[in-house]
Amino acid sequence: MWPGLEVSGVVSAIGPGSRWRVGDEVVALLDGGGYATKAAVADAQVLPAPPGVPLVDAAALPEAACTVWSTLSAARLAPGEWLLVHGGSGGVGSFAVQLGKALGAHVATTAGGPERAARCAALGADLVIDHRSEDFVEVLHERVPGGVDVVLDVVGAAYLDRNLDVLAVEGRLAVIGLQQGSRAELDLGRLLSRRLTVLGTTLRSRPPEQKAEIVAQVLRHVWPLVAGGQVRPVVHDRIPLSRAYDAHRMLASGAAFGNVVLTPDRGPSQQPDQQPDLQQD
């Protein structure tokens, strides 16, 4: 499997009946293969590049937008509810904080260290918990005594029990990542007595029809928020594709806040003002 699930760039060729034109600036949700200077993608998984966002930075939008929108929709997040986003300084987390606020929710998030916590607050989070010095369960019991309505979790097994601890009655836990394990013991009695829901979801393995529907929903519901400036891509750095290893090391070290975007290497014939075909996140 070739890596890269999202790109931005300029359409260079189309198939029969395509709704796009050569020269259109677009972003796309791929099935893989984004670590390249050109990529092929199904017509229905392409979105217009949003106005007001540099095309290079727009590469950081498709996967996060589709992941967060589809997950919060499945979790039935409603205006006025509390949303807890774990890892608000990550690429998906930074998008989720902004989208949750734009949808009218109260947003709490976790981040590591005072600086990252402050940047999450600047994104609009109502409550930021520094997981290096604070226990998110204790803080939420104090600050949101009724519990949060939705938890967006990238940690997995290590946080299962603690996530259930902070949920309100009829709360929903949405697991989208397994950074700290895939197996944990679940007390079903807690789910029954408080009518809780635990749901798991991923984007990459979905069939094309589902991806097309998610992309269409993102175009209708999320893209106007991006165009209006309520939700923006958070880009930590832009690194040439030939240094993808360095980009991965940056992400693994935890140094990046938000996304790291890979850009095409400049060849001898490419002038500084020429538009590259694709950007990859």
pLDDT at 269 (0 to 100): 39
Flag whether pLDDT at 198 surpasses 80. Answer: yes
Provide the residue range defining the domain that includes 268. 6-61+207-280
Report the C-alpha gap between 95 and 109 in whole angstroms. Answer: 12
Kindly report whether the global pTM for this prediction surpasses the value 0.85: yes
Report the C-alpha gap between 100 and 239 in whole angstroms. Answer: 29
Flag whether pLDDT at 127 surpasses 50. Answer: yes
Which tens digits make up the pLDDT trace of 242-277? 999 999 999 999 899 999 999 998 754 344 444 445
Summarize the confidence of residues 215-230 as an average pLDDT. Answer: 98
Task: Give the torsion sign (CA, 130, 133, 136, 141).
Answer: negative
pLDDT at 279 (0 to 100): 53
User: Are both 264 and 180 inside the same structural domain?
Assistant: no
Domain tally, the chain: 2
Rounded alpha-carbon distances, angstroms, from residue 198 to 71, 152, 172, 190: 12, 11, 6, 11
- 73 located within any domain: no
123: exposed, middle or buried (Cβ count in 10 Å: 0-12, 13-18, 19+): buried
> What is the average pLDDT score of the chain?
93
Which tens digits make up the pLDDT trace of 149-182? 999 999 999 999 999 999 999 999 999 999 999 9
- 68 located within any domain: no
CA 60 to the chain's CA centroid: 9
pLDDT at 280 (0 to 100): 52
Token readout for 176 is 């989208």
What CATH number should be reported for the domain holding residue 157?
3.40.50.720
- 243 located within any domain: yes
User: Are both 121 and 174 inside the same structural domain?
Assistant: yes
